Structures are given as C-alpha cells and as structure tokens.
C-alpha cells in the first residue's frame, strides 16, 4: 500500500493521460498549452521510473503499448477520482493538476493517518510541522478549511476526511498501475492487501495463500486481521484491497460489494474431557451451567450465543470476552469453558481430536462467507487470482456449495 515515499507529479501524469487520449505529443502540448519538449520530458521521466515504455512512437502518432494501455486505464481512474472530489469540494469543475500538487496530496494523506504521523514523517526525513505546512497550503489552494483547530492540534474536519479518503483511493490506482507494469517486467513490486475477520476460516485462507504464492511468487501478499467494522473502514479508506469473512454489509455501505463463496455453520466446542462431550444431545439448561468464552457484544456470533439462553432463568456468566481464536482455544483446552465457533475455523482441531464437538442438533444456522470489496474496484490479475484461490480453498465455485455438502 501507499508508502508515502514518492510524490506523484500530477502535471506529468496529466501529460501522459492526454497523449494516450489524443494520440500524439504535439496534440497533447496544444491541449495543455505547453511545449512539446516539456511533454516529451514528462513522458520520459515516467517511463524511466516504471522501467518500460508506455508509448510507441511512429510517423503517424504516439500510441500506447499493451502495458501502456493498462497503465493509462489506471491513470484515467486516478484523475477521475481526484477531479470528482475536488469539484465536489470547491463547488465548480476542477482539474486536479491545476489545483493541487503531489506534495499537498501526500501531506494530507500522511497527517490523517491515525497515530502514524511522526513515524511516517521520520521515514520521509521530514518533520510533522513541514507536513502540516503543506496541508495548510492545500487549504489555501482550495479556499476551504480542512482541519478543526483543537487544544491537541489540528484534526481533519468532514471535508478534510473526505479528501484524504479519496486521495488514498486515487493513489492506490497509481500504485497498482506501477505494480502491474513492474510485475510484468519481473520485478517484485505489486502488493495485494487482504483483510481477515476473526473466525473467517484461517485454514481456508492459509490454503488459498499457499496456492496463490505458488502461482505468483513475485507478488507480496499482506494479510491484515481485525473485526468487521475496522476492516470495513480500512477498505473504504483504501488501506486494504478486500477482506474475507462473514458477509454482513450494513445498509449504509453502498460503496461495497460482496461475493459469496460458501456457507458455513456454527459448532459448539469444548475440550475432549468436558463432561458434556459424553451426552448424546446437549440442552440449553446444561450449557448454562458452564463458563463461556464469548466475542464482543453485538457481533453475530455473540448474538447467536445469547439466543441459546433466551427465556432461561439462569444464564451462564460471560466473563471471558475475546475474538482471538488462539486465546479462545487456550481457554477451552485448560478448563471446562465452552464456546461457539464457525465450523470452518474449528474443523482441523476436531479432526485431530484437540477439541470436541458438543451434540446440538438444533444448531443449524448457515452463514454466508466470502469476499468484500469496493463496488468500483478494478482488480489486477493477481487480485482476481487470489479470489479464485479462495474460491477453490472454500470448496467450490458456486455460492452455497459448502452448505450442501
């Protein structure tokens, strides 16, 4: 993801975009009201940076190479995002390269990274104050306040937050454009960032990862764990490309799409020596006599656990709360505590006899699981292949195939 080290030259990128559209350097120079040498130099700089030609020059014009067409597609998306959000903010038609600089774009992204400003500034050999100054020049360029001044320093207001989010989304397109081109040339540059919700199915995710890395050894794969709402926020801010887990898109999240891969079920588990493992069928009353390990209030799994004891006079104590699979597992193995897990998450331990499944025939919920992405996402081939590896590892190409097994 965005490493904050390189500031895109928006003017140079616009030169490249216009050449791709009009099919020549002279035409681009006329449209942009600049000299042909300036346009030619800008293209040379970008081609040198990515290590491959974007255009083929001929007597009839300047035309994109196959990789160049791929790069230009991302570049169009980059400017579409920037131009749209800047038009929204300033209230009139805006072109990003005429209104802001790459330095200002980077500064706003950096200083709205929660808790990371000093760390990132140090990695850039800059001071946080210099980043703040660049962000203030952005305010003057736009004629709009982007921060609220508080006793703890400036914090982004609604406009600043919107701009930072869209700036990140635009920069991700440039990262992917560069990564696709360099990857095709054999360089290790493309990074695929995948989020994983606790209890999503770590064995399926691990198997998909193994398959993917065998097919794409030059791609860097970064796995990020977190609860659903955290990963949804990371996705909307373009810090991750997708996330894997239970599909539960809120009604307000119109910017995201879900791809169901399979149906999972719940499974009541305890240690093999647990007294309830000997019973042919376990009742809610018997379950209520034991301590439970539970996830946070409001999560689907917590709601399902609470529903088990609805209407009972005596409820179990929910004094141990964690969404960590390893912590839940450790508590189960060392005591008579019980928990509810997804079958995909616990099936390996059940096969090895590490955990025991309690017999609850009335526990028949089926949970849709899959991949959540932005609705406007344009995946690279590597991203598409990773989703396909997930599809294979979760048991089939048709949604719900696991449920029927």
Exposure of 97 by Cβ count < 10 A (0-12 exposed, 13-18 middle, 19+ buried)? buried
Provide the pLDDT for residue 6: 65
User: What are the structural domain ranges in the chain?
Assistant: 10-168, 186-262+368-393, 265-366
Provide the pLDDT for residue 5: 53
Specify the CATH number for 10-168; select among 1.10.10.10, 3.40.630.10, 3.30.70.1350, 3.30.465.10.
1.10.10.10
The tens digit of pLDDT for each residue in 114-157 reads 777 777 777 677 777 888 888 889 999 999 999 988 877 778 89
* The two structure tokens encoding residue 269: 């588990």
Average pLDDT over residues 30-54: 90
**Total Cβ atoms within 10 A of residue 207:** 16
The reply to whether 186-262+368-393 and 265-366 are identical in fold is yes
- Which CATH number is 265-366 given? 3.40.190.290
Q: Is the pLDDT of residue 401 over 60?
A: no
Percent of the chain with pLDDT strictly greater than 70: 95
Provide the pLDDT for residue 50: 86
**Between residues 396 and 145, the one the model is more confident about:** 145
Q: Is the pLDDT of residue 93 over 80?
A: yes
Kindly report which listed range (116-120, 218-222, 254-258) carries the lowest average pLDDT score: 116-120
Chain center to CA of 246: 15
- Confidence band, pLDDT 50/70/90 cuts, at residue 362: confident
**Between residues 77 and 348, the one the model is more confident about:** 77
In contact, 58 and 112? CB cutoff 8 Å: no
* The two structure tokens encoding residue 17: 């975009």
Provide the pLDDT for residue 402: 41
Q: Is the pLDDT of residue 17 over 80?
A: yes
Alpha carbons 343 and 334: distance in angstroms, whole number: 21
Q: Is the pLDDT of residue 54 over 50?
A: yes
Exposure of 66 by Cβ count < 10 A (0-12 exposed, 13-18 middle, 19+ buried)? exposed
Q: Is the pLDDT of residue 399 over 50?
A: no
Percent of the chain with pLDDT strictly greater than 90: 65
Average pLDDT over residues 389-395: 91
- Confidence band, pLDDT 50/70/90 cuts, at residue 255: very high
Provide the pLDDT for residue 405: 33
Kindly report which listed range (166-175, 186-195, 229-238, 389-398) carries the lowest average pLDDT score: 389-398
Alpha carbons 396 and 405: distance in angstroms, whole number: 10
* The two structure tokens encoding residue 392: 């294979």
The tens digit of pLDDT for each residue in 296-353 reads 998 889 999 999 999 898 888 899 999 888 899 999 999 999 999 988 888 889 999 9
Provide the pLDDT for residue 404: 37
Tell me how far apart the terminal alpha carbons of the chain are, to the nearest angstrom: 38
Closest residue by Cα to residue 147 from 112, 121, 99, 101:
112
Q: Does domain 186-262+368-393 have CATH number 3.40.50.300?
A: no
Q: Is the pLDDT of residue 37 over 50?
A: yes
Three-state DSSP string of the chain: CCCCCCCCCHHHHHHHHHHHHHCCHHHHHHHHCCCHHHHHHHHHHHHHHHCCCCEEEECCEEEECHHHHHHHHHHHHHHHHHHHHHHHHHCCCCCHHHHCCHHHHHHHHHHCCCCCHHHHHHHCCCCHHHHHHHHHHHHHHHCCCCEEEECCEEEECHHHHHHHHHHHHHHHHHHHHHHHHHHHCCCCCCEEEEEECCCCCHHHHHHHHHHHHHHCCCCEEEEEECCHHHHHHHHHCCCCCEEEEECCCCCCCCCEEEEEEEEEEEEEEECCCCHHHHCCCCCHHHHCCCCEEECCCCCHHHHHHHHHCCCCCCCCCCCEECCCHHHHHHHHHCCCCEEEEEHHHHHHHHHHCCCEECCCCCCCCEEEEEEEEECCCCCCHHHHHHHHHHHHHCCCCCCCCCCCC
Provide the pLDDT for residue 366: 87
Provide the pLDDT for residue 335: 94
Residues 6+ apart with CB under 8 A from 366: 263, 264, 265, 403
Average pLDDT over residues 392-397: 73
Q: Is the pLDDT of residue 174 over 90?
A: yes
The tens digit of pLDDT for each residue in 202-215 reads 788 999 999 999 99
Find which of 40-44, 119-123, 383-387 is predicted with most confidence, using mean pLDDT.
383-387
């Amino acid at each position: 993801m965005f490493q904050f080290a390189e500031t895109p030259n928006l003017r140079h990128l616009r030169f490249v975009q216009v050449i791709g559209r009009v099919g020549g350097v002279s035409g681009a120079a006329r449209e942009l009201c600049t000299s042909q040498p300036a346009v030619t130099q800008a293209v040379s700089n970008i081609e040198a940076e990515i290590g491959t030609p974007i255009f083929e020059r001929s007597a009839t014009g300047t035309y994109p190479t196959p990789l160049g067409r791929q790069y230009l597609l991302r570049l169009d998306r980059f400017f579409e995002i920037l131009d749209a959000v800047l038009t929204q903010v300033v209230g009139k038609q805006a072109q990003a390269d005429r209104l802001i600089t790459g330095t200002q774009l980077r500064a706003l992204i950096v200083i709205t990274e929660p808790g990371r400003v000093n760390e990132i500034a140090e990695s850039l050999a800059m001071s946080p104050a210099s980043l703040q100054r660049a962000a203030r020049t952005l305010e003057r360029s736009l004629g709009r306040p982007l921060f609220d001044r508080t006793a703890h320093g400036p914090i982004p207001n609604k406009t600043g937050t919107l701009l930072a989010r869209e700036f990140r989304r635009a920069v991700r397109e440039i990262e992917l454009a560069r990564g696709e081109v360099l990857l095709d040339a054999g360089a290790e540059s493309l990074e695929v960032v995948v989020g994983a919700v606790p209890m999503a199915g770590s064995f399926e995710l691990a198997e998909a990862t193994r398959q993917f890395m065998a097919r794409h050894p030059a791609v860097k794969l970064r796995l990020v764990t977190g609860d659903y709402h955290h990963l949804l926020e990371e996705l909307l801010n373009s810090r991750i490309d997708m996330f894997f887990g239970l599909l539960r898109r809120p009604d307000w999240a119109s910017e995201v799409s879900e791809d169901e891969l399979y149906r999972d079920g719940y499974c009541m588990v305890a240690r093999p020596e647990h007294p309830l493992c000997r019973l042919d069928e376990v009742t809610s009353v018997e379950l209520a006599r034991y301590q439970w390990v539970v996830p946070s209030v409001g999560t689907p799994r917590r709601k399902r656990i609470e529903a088990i004891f609805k209407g009972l006079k005596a409820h179990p104590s929910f004094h141990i709360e964690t969404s960590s699979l390893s912590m839940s597992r450790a508590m189960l193995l060392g005591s008579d505590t019980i928990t509810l897990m997804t079958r995909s998450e616990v099936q390996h331990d059940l096969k090895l006899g590490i955990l025991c499944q309690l017999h609850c025939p009335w526990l028949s919920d089926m949970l849709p699981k899959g991949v959540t992405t932005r609705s406007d996402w344009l995946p690279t081939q590597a991203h598409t292949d990773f989703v396909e590896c997930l599809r294979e590892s979760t048991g089939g190409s048709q949604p719900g195939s696991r449920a029927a097994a």
